[in-house]
């Protein structure tokens, strides 16, 4: 069993208006990963994933491909902390409003 991690990820490219947030939400819930996803006004999609390291790593890899119609050109990834996770205090994965 791998350690629990919290990863902050920003996806750029054609990731808005193509169902990318719903795709991330579905894939995260299917893997029982906590966290959230939201659009940003700059055209990127931001996500926070909490779960076993191997599962989170796999989820990020799946999101790099995205749904049909999306094109992920860049992925910025870093460690995050519980304070960032607190934007949404649920154990389920959430879609947050655009910032």
* CATH number of the CATH domain containing 26: 3.30.70.100
The three-class DSSP label of residue 26 is helix
Residue span of the structural domain in which 64 resides: 18-95
4 domain-assigned: no
Opening angle at CA 75, ends 57 and 93, nearest 5: 55
Opening angle at CA 90, ends 88 and 94, nearest 5: 60
pTM over 0.85: yes
Q: What is the pLDDT of residues 40-83, one digit of tens each?
A: 999 999 999 999 999 999 999 999 999 999 999 999 999 998 88
Query: Catalytic positions, please?
Result: 21, 39
Q: What is the pLDDT of residues 6-36, one digit of tens each?
A: 999 999 999 999 999 999 999 999 999 999 9
> How far is 87 from 64, CA to CA, in rounded Å?
23
How many domains is the chain partitioned into structurally? Answer: 1
CB 45 within 8 A of CB 16: yes
């Amino acid at each position: 069993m791998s350690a629990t991690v919290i990863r902050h990820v920003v996806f750029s490219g054609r990731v808005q208006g193509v169902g990318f947030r719903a795709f991330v939400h579905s894939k995260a819930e299917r893997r029982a990963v906590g966290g959230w996803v939201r659009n940003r006004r700059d055209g990127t999609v931001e996500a926070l994933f909490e779960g076993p390291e191997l599962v989170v790593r796999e989820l990020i890899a799946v999101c790099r491909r995205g749904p049909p119609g999306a094109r992920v050109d860049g992925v910025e990834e870093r460690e995050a902390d519980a304070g960032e996770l607190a934007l949404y205090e649920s154990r389920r994965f959430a879609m947050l409003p655009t910032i």
